[in-house]
Structures are given as structure tokens and as C-alpha cells.
């Protein structure tokens, strides 16, 4: 994979890996499994592990020199040494949505370079929507479950904030009171709940305007969607206590080899960058 740090990155190999991981997930999702009641050996766990195995093999073949921080590996205690450039992988984001069988779960592969998500792929295998960026622009395509590639797709871009009110997205399964209070401070026309990193992609595609997230998330949950949103013209603003400035959420290597320190601060994703002062003001609740 061509991966010069300044130039756009060819993400076709990442797209292929995400599609293959999606096939592994769908084989379990649509298979004859007993909804995920068991903690160990549950379909979710099997799907997470199968998808991550596909991605780790693909990355090892395509980019053997770039370390990978992946959710399941970190859970098992495998954390690479700190590096300025690394992949961040959430093989199945939206565990609760997988269990609910509502289709709102995604495969996520991001490339971080000095704290910035410079490339990413987000694939929702149940719907066939795939979003990606290699840095130059953000694109999306709809694929069939057996697709091996996504083609050129179409460009996606954020939209200007509508005068009639904002479409706001919130987590379907991890909503919190503070997020609701923040949303009440915004000029809202519609609030929609959705699972997983798809929320960032919906903002990137101009189908929503704001995604506030004050309940906890991990860096791998949002890095690929953040890359897509950034390339589509949007921002993910970090909300630090008392912070008065719009700071882009940054990524950092784990604080130690046990993987601690990979939590995100609270954040608000916005499509129209001119919304930054509006959402920051609303966040002072
Ligand atoms: N208490 C907590 N601490 C850290 N992350 C949490 C969390 N509760 C939920 N999350 C994160 O929120 C993600 C789901 O986001 P959403 O609510 O937008 O669908 C989860 O991803 P997984 O489903 O991959 O575990 C998980 O990483
Ligand atoms: Mg996740």
C-alpha cells in the first residue's frame, strides 16, 4: 500500500480487508446462532474475532512495518510499542446493535499519523454502505455482501447547517443525560438515534449536522469515521472541561503496554465547521 505521510493514501487494500471482514461477520450474523446471551463464545465475540483476524492478516501482508492497535488484541493484552504512525482497528463497532440485529454495526480501519486520522474505512456489512478516505476526499459506495472491491464510489461532503434547524445524531444504546441536556441547547429540527461509527459517516455525507458524544468511547470506535468526516469537510471537536477553544480530537498511543489511556475525551462531531462556536457554547452545561 502506498502510504507516504503527505500524499493521499491508496486505500484499496484497506477496503478489501474491510469487505472480507464484513463477510466473516455476516456469516455469523445471518447464520443459525442463538442471540448473544453467552458472555464467552457468543456470536458477537466470534464475529469480532473473525473480523479482526482477517484485518490483522491483511495489514501484516500489506503494511508489515506499521504497528496495529486493534480492539480484540488489546483486550488480550497485545499492545504494540508506541509509534507515531499506526493503524487503529475496531473490527465490529456496535456490539449492542449486532445483538439487537438492527444492522447498525461497522468494520473500522484507520491510519493515524502523528495524532491525526489520515485515512480510514468504515463498512456497514448489513446495509452494504462503505465509506472511505485516503486523505484527498471522502467517498462512499453501496456494495453487495460478496463484493471484493467497492469501485470508485461517489464523493461525499458535509452540508452547510440548515437554517430550519440541525439534524442531531445520538447513540442508540449509550445515550446519557448530559448529551440530552447539550442537545436541548442547540437549534434542533430532528434528533435521530443510531449505532456505531455510522453516525460520523452520516454527518460526513451531509445527512446529519451534529453528533455530540459525552458518554465514553474508545479511540478505535471513531478513528476511521473521524478520518472520513475530516476529509468530507467536517470536524470532531474535543470537549475538555472548561475548554473555550475548538480543538480537533487527537489520537495518542496507549499510556502503557496494558492498553490503558485509549479512551476518548467527550467530543462533538460537526459537519459545517461554522457550527464550532455554537456547539461549544451549548457544551458549557
Ligand atoms: N463505558 C464505556 N467505556 C468505553 N467505551 C464505551 C463504553 N460504553 C460504550 N463504549 C463504546 O461505545 C461504542 C458503541 O458506540 P455507540 O453507542 O455509538 O454504538 C462501543 O463500541 P463496541 O460496540 O465496539 O464495543 C464501546 O467501545
Ligand atoms: Mg467499538
Whether 236 has a pLDDT exceeding 80, the answer reads: yes
Of these ranges, 22-36, 135-149, 254-268, the one predicted with the greatest mean pLDDT is: 135-149
pLDDT band at 43 (very low <50, low <70, confident <90, very high): confident
Which pLDDT score is estimated for 261? Answer: 87
Cα(193)–Cα(96) distance, rounded to whole angstroms? Answer: 13
Read off the pLDDT of residues 119-176 as tens digits, 9 standing for 90 and up. 999 999 999 999 999 998 999 999 999 999 999 999 999 999 999 999 999 999 998 9
Which pLDDT score is estimated for 39? Answer: 54
Grid cell, residue 148, equals: 471484493
- Which atom in ligand 1 lies closest to the alpha carbon of residue 48? 24
The separation between CA 30 and the C-alpha centre of its own chain, rounded to angstroms, equals 23
Entry pTM = 0.95
Whether 1 has a pLDDT exceeding 70, the answer reads: no
Q: How many other CB atoms are there within 10 angstroms of residue 83's CB atom? A: 13
Does the Cβ of 106 fall within 6 Å of ligand 1?
no
Q: What are phi and psi of 265, to 5 degrees?
A: -75, 170
**Domains (ranges, CATH) in the chain?**
11-156 (3.30.540.10), 166-282 (3.40.190.80)
In this structure, the strands spanning 188-194 and 68-70 are unpaired
Does the Cβ of 171 fall within 6 Å of ligand 1?
yes
Beginning with the edge strand found earlier in the chain, give each strand of the sheet holding 85-93 in spatial order: 68-70, 85-93, 106-113, 116-124, 129-133, 138-142, 154-156
- Which atom in ligand 1 lies closest to the alpha carbon of residue 263? 4
92 annotated ligand-binding residue: yes
Cα(254)–Cα(126) distance, rounded to whole angstroms? Answer: 31
Give percent of the chain above pLDDT 90.
81
Closest CA to 270 of 243, 235, 230: 235
> How many angstroms is it from 240 CA to the middle of ligand 1?
19
Does the Cβ of 173 fall within 6 Å of ligand 1?
yes
Does the Cβ of 45 fall within 6 Å of ligand 1?
no
Higher-confidence residue of 284 and 28: namely 28
Q: What are the residues whose beta carbons fall under 8 Å from the beta carbon of 154, sequence distance 6 or more?
A: 139, 140, 141
> How many angstroms is it from 272 CA to the middle of ligand 2?
25
Query: Residues 69, 220: contact at Cβ < 8 Å?
Result: yes
Q: Which residues surround ligand 2, an ion (CB under 5 A)?
A: 90, 93, 221
Average pLDDT over residues 106-117: 97
Read off the pLDDT of residues 53-79 as tens digits, 9 standing for 90 and up. 999 999 999 999 999 999 999 988 999
Which pLDDT score is estimated for 244? Answer: 66
Average pLDDT over residues 72-87: 91
Which pLDDT score is estimated for 44? Answer: 81
Does the Cβ of 93 fall within 6 Å of ligand 1?
yes
Whether 5 has a pLDDT exceeding 80, the answer reads: no
Average pLDDT over residues 236-251: 85
pLDDT band at 3 (very low <50, low <70, confident <90, very high): very low
CA dihedral 107, 98, 221, 261 (to 10 degrees): -130
If DSSP codes are grouped into helix, strand and coil, which group holds residue 55?
helix
Per 3-state DSSP, what percentage of the chain is helix, strand, and coil (rounded to 5)? 30, 25, 45
Which pLDDT score is estimated for 256? Answer: 79
Whether 264 has a pLDDT exceeding 60, the answer reads: yes
Which pLDDT score is estimated for 240? Answer: 81
Give percent of the chain above pLDDT 70.
93
Please give the DSSP secondary-structure letter assigned to residue 161: P
Whether 94 has a pLDDT exceeding 50, the answer reads: yes
When the pLDDT of each residue in the chain is averaged and rounded to a whole number, the result is 92
> How many angstroms is it from 19 CA to the middle of ligand 2?
17
CA separation (Å) from 262 to 9, 63, 218?
A: 25, 23, 6
Amino acid at each position: 500500500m502506498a502510504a507516504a505521510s503527505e500524499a493521499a493514501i491508496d486505500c484499496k487494500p484497506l477496503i478489501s480487508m474491510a469487505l472480507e471482514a464484513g463477510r466473516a461477520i455476516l456469516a455469523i450474523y445471518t447464520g443459525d446462532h442463538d442471540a448473544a446471551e453467552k458472555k464467552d463464545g457468543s456470536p458477537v465475540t466470534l464475529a469480532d474475532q473473525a473480523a479482526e483476524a482477517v484485518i490483522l492478516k491483511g495489514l501484516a501482508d500489506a503494511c508489515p512495518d506499521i504497528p496495529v492497535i486493534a480492539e480484540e488484541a488489546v483486550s488480550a493484552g497485545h499492545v504494540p510499542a508506541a509509534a507515531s504512525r499506526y493503524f487503529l482497528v475496531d473490527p465490529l463497532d456496535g456490539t449492542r446493535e449486532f445483538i439487537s440485529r438492527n444492522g447498525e454495526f461497522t468494520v473500522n480501519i484507520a491510519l493515524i499519523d502523528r495524532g491525526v486520522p489520515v485515512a480510514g474505512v468504515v463498512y456497514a456489512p448489513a446495509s452494504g454502505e462503505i465509506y472511505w478516505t485516503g486523505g484527498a476526499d471522502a467517498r462512499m459506495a453501496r456494495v453487495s455482501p460478496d463484493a471484493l472491491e467497492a469501485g470508485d464510489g461517489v464523493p461525499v461532503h458535509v452540508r452547510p447547517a440548515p437554517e430550519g434547524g440541525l439534524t442531531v445524531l445520538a447513540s442508540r444504546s449509550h445515550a446519557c443525560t448530559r448529551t440530552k441536556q447539550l442537545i436541548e441547547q442547540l437549534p434542533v429540527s430532528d434528533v435521530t438515534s443510531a449505532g456505531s461509527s455510522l453516525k460520523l459517516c452520516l454527518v460526513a455525507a451531509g445527512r446529519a449536522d451534529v453528533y455530540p458524544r459525552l458518554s465514553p468511547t474508545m479511540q478505535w470506535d471513531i478513528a476511521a469515521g473521524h478520518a472520513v468526516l475530516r476529509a468530507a469537510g467536517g470536524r470532531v471537536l474535543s470537549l475538555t472541561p472548561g475548554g473555550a477553544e475548538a480543538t480537533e480530537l487527537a489520537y495518542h498511543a496507549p499510556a502503557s503496554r496494558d492498553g490503558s489511556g485509549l479512551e476518548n475525551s467527550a467530543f462533538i462531531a460537526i459537519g459545517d465547521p461554522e457550527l464550532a462556536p455554537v456547539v461549544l457554547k451549548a457544551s458549557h452545561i
